[in-house]
């Protein structure tokens, strides 16, 4: 035990010694932060962990829109993750929890959780893809000179609006940033379940505080990322599952001032059109024993929202969390989710597309070929695939992003109207990511390939796996580097075809789809149709 402690301490000294020899102090709107370099795992990456982008949402800020983090005049270190926001993980019996926990955020939970993390290359270099430089997008100003910053990819974690945060092991981008030296990745926490989506029309400026967290985060990145070596004109939102839904919703919420230059959305898409309010917040107040609160069968539960809000803002967050766990009876969706407030999420998406009320920025959208396998009944002792059963709402995982791309073309005018789209299918079945053969290309299985973490937890990766990972990483960074052009992979001499109606060869396929249609043996190919759901 003494030897382990000594080695751990020595490693910490090595990391901090490297950091002290570098200028990793960056002044931001929330204070001056000193980052570090992990000399063991990422010696060519500058890292900052736990930077505040919002004021802690405590007391009368609970359930409400976020406020910018105040400026702190003293010295701050950014060398450790901050707590993630309160989760609503239920019984923790899913395949994630039982079999592949590296997809999850397992840090300490707290209500004071609105922090971000940044990974930036130490030796910045432009992506070598033989294309002209991108034209600036967004509100910031930048130069096309050699001092120009690198593009920035903001990762929005999924988790059904009830789980997730900026530090899941499969989603640490240091290997990706270190290998390419051509981009920055930002991860962050946003409020979840009732804390982020109370669903009551008189709270949180109509109930979607978690989506407002995302907007404030994007604004913080725009204002500060140049200090970390990033280009504020080339910010991309990259989201998976609920994170993809948030990214697409964002494009409708800020049609004329998106700040971002593009979106990558995987395994979800078209925003929810849930009711403008629900009784769940009121029912939570009843369960919590709030005074002066009537039964949810009251003729007008909305009339109680003022009392509900004041009461629930006064209780300890841990107590509210406990009551939410008791109240929740839907393990797939959860009770507290975004509502259609016509501010951050809209009910009239068709009209908005037709009228051009959506950000005119490009979109990469795709899904995995076996999305729903992750949500099938699971027992660790199982040796064969469980019986296929319908997953409530599961069709939205794959079909949602396909619908959104189709709508951008048919209703929004497509590329001619600034809505360029690119489609992909992830068809890999790699056993060190999905250690049951029948999981295949399950929901989330593309994430470790994009982040370059696929070989870190369950054995070595195959050559096909490595090449698929490199191809995805390069296309993502190419898209971020020049959002105004088709993504291109110079190493493969391959350009991603724009999606247009009535033409073939427009769907990029990553990985090997053995047993599911054509047997792709290359890391990347182009198909005429999907070999998976939503053909």
Q: What is the mean pLDDT of the chain?
A: 83
CA–CA separation, 254 vs 262, rounded Å?
Answer: 13
Q: 176 CB contacts (<8 Å, ≥6 apart)? A: 185, 450, 451, 452, 473
Instruction: Based on the fold, state whether residues 458 and 478 are members of the same structural domain.
Output: yes
Sheet holding 72-77, edge to edge: 25-28, 31-34, 72-77
* Mean pLDDT, residues 515-530: 61
| Same domain, residue pair 288 and 271 | no
142 CB neighbour count, 10 Å cutoff: 16
- Looking up residue 185, the CATH number of its domain turns out to be 3.40.50.1820
- The string of pLDDT tens digits covering residues 230-276 is 999 999 999 999 999 999 999 999 999 999 999 999 998 877 666 66
pLDDT at 300: 43
The rounded distance, in Å, linking the Cα atoms of 447 and 444 is: 6
Check: CB of residue 461 under 8 Å from CB of residue 432. yes
Q: ∠ CA 321-324-329 to the nearest 5 degrees?
A: 145
Average pLDDT over residues 320-332: 77
Domain assignment present for 467: yes
Q: What angle do CA 487, 150, 250 make, to 5 degrees?
A: 65
How far apart CA 68 and CA 50 sit, in angstroms, is 15
Q: Which of 282, 443, 454, 474 is catalytic?
A: 443
Number of domains in the chain: 2
- Full DSSP string of 198-262: ---TTSHHHH-HHHHHHHHHHHHHHHHGGGGTEEEEEEEEEEETHHHHHHHHHHHH-SS----SE
Asked whether residue 23 is domain-assigned, the answer is no
Residue 352 maps to a domain: yes
- Residue that finishes a domain, picked among 292, 327, 362: 327
pLDDT given for residue 327 in this prediction: 81
Q: Is 167 assigned a catalytic role?
A: no
End-to-end CA distance of the chain: 56
- At 378 the pLDDT is 73
Which band of pLDDT confidence, cut at 50, 70 and 90, is reported for residue 492?
confident
Do 156 and 251 belong together in one domain? yes
* 452 and 490 belong to one structural domain: yes
pLDDT (tens digit, 9 = 90+) per residue, 81-132?
999 999 987 666 678 878 888 998 889 999 999 999 999 999 988 887 645 4
- Catalytic residue among 109, 111, 163, 371, which? 371
Buried b (16+ CB within 10 A) or exposed e, 158-182: bbbbbbbbbbbbbbbbbbbbbbbbb
Amino acid 125: pLDDT = 86
Comparison of pLDDT for 274 and 410, the residue scoring more: 410
Question: In the prediction, which pLDDT does 442 show?
Answer: 87
Please classify residue 91 by burial: count the beta carbons closer than 10 Å to its beta carbon, then call 0-12 exposed, 13-18 middle and 19+ buried: exposed
Rounded to an integer, the average pLDDT of 497-501 is: 89
One domain for residues 262 and 142: yes
Q: Indicate whether 201 pLDDT > 60.
A: no
**Residue 163 falls within a domain, yes or no?**
yes
- 463 catalytic per annotation: no
Domain around 286: 280-327
How far apart (Å, rounded) are the C-alpha atoms in residues 211 and 117?
A: 18
Residue 314 has pLDDT above 80, yes or no: yes
**Do 321 and 351 belong together in one domain?**
no
In this predicted model, what pLDDT tens digit does every residue of 468-488 receive, in sequence order? Answer: 999 999 999 999 999 999 999
**127 and 247 co-located in one domain:** yes
Catalytic residue chosen out of the listed positions 30, 241, 278, 531:
241
- The CA distance from 209 to 435, in Å, is 37
Residues 285 and 372 in one domain: no
User: What's the pTM?
Assistant: 0.89
Question: Considering the domain boundaries, does residue 15 fall inside one?
Answer: no
On whether residue 6 sits in a domain, the answer given is no
Residue 29 lies in a domain: no
For residues 92 and 223, membership in a common domain is answered with yes
Please indicate, yes or no, whether residues 192 and 298 belong to a single structural domain of this protein. Answer: no
Do 460 and 423 belong to one domain?
Answer: yes
The span from the CA of 352 to the CA of 255, in Å, is: 10
In a domain, 384, yes or no: yes
d(CA 65, CA 211): 9
> By three-state DSSP, how is residue 373 classified?
helix
Burial 224-253, CB ≥16 within 10 A → b, else e: bbbbbbbbbbbbbbbbbbbbbbbbbbbbbb
Mean predicted confidence (pLDDT) in 514-518: 41
Residues 254 and 375 in one domain: yes
């Amino acid at each position: 035990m003494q030897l382990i402690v000594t080695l751990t301490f020595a490693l910490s000294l090595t990391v901090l010694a490297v950091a002290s020899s570098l200028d990793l102090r960056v002044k931001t709107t929330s204070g001056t932060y000193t980052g570090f370099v992990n000399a063991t795992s990422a010696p060519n990456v500058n890292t900052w962990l736990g930077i505040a982008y919002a004021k802690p949402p405590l007391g009368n800020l609970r359930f409400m829109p976020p406020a910018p983090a105040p400026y702190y005049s003293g010295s701050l270190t950014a060398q450790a993750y901050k707590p993630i926001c309160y989760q609503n993980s239920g019984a923790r019996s899913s395949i994630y929890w039982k079999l592949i926990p590296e997809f999850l955020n397992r840090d300490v939970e707290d209500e004071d959780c609105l922090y971000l993390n940044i990974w930036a290359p130490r030796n910045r270099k432009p992506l070598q893809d033989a294309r002209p430089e991108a034209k600036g997008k967004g509100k910031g100003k930048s130069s096309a000179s050699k001092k120009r910053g690198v593009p920035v990819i903001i990762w929005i974690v999924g988790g059904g609006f009830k789980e997730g945060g900026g530090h899941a092991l499969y989603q640490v981008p240091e290997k990706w940033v270190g290998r390419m030296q051509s981009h920055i990745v930002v991860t962050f926490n946003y409020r979840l379940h009732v804390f982020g989506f109370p669903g009551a029309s008189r709270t949180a400026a109509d109930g979607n505080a978690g989506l407002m967290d995302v907007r404030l985060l994007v604004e913080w990145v725009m204002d500060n990322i140049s200090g970390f070596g990033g280009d504020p004109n080339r910010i991309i939102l990259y989201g998976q599952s609920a994170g993809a839904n948030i990214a697409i919703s964002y494009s409708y919420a800020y049609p004329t001032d998106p700040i971002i230059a593009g979106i990558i959305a995987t395994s979800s898409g078209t925003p929810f059109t849930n009711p403008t309010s629900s009784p769940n917040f009121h029912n939570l107040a009843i369960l919590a024993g709030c005074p002066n609160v009537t039964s949810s069968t009251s003729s007008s539960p909305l009339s109680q929202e003022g009392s509900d809000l004041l009461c629930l803002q006064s209780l300890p967050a841990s107590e509210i969390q406990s009551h939410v766990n008791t109240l929740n009876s839907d393990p797939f969706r959860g009770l507290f989710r975004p509502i259609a407030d016509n501010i951050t999420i809209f009910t009239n998406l068709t009209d908005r597309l037709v009228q051009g009320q959506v950000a005119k920025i490009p979109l990469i959208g795709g899904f995995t070929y076996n999305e729903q396998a992750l949500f099938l009944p699971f027992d660790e002792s199982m040796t064969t695939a469980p019986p296929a059963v319908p997953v409530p709402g599961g069709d939205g995982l794959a079909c949602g992003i396909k619908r959104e791309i189709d709508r951008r073309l048919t209703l929004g005018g497509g590329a001619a109207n600034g809505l360029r789209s690119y489609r992909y299918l992830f068809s890999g079945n790699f056993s060190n990511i999905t250690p049951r053969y029948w999981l295949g290309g399950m929901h989330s299985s593309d994430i470790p390939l994009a982040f370059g973490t696929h070989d870190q937890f369950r054995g070595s990766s195959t050559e096909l796996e490595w090449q698929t990972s490199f191809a995805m990483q390069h296309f993502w960074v190419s898209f971020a580097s020049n959002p105004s052009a088709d993504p291109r992979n110079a190493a493969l001499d391959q350009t991603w075809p724009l999606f247009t109606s009535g033409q073939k060869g427009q769907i990029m396929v990553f990985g090997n789809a053995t047993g599911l249609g054509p047997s792709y043996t290359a890391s990347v190919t182009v198909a005429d149709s999907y070999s998976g759901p939503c053909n």
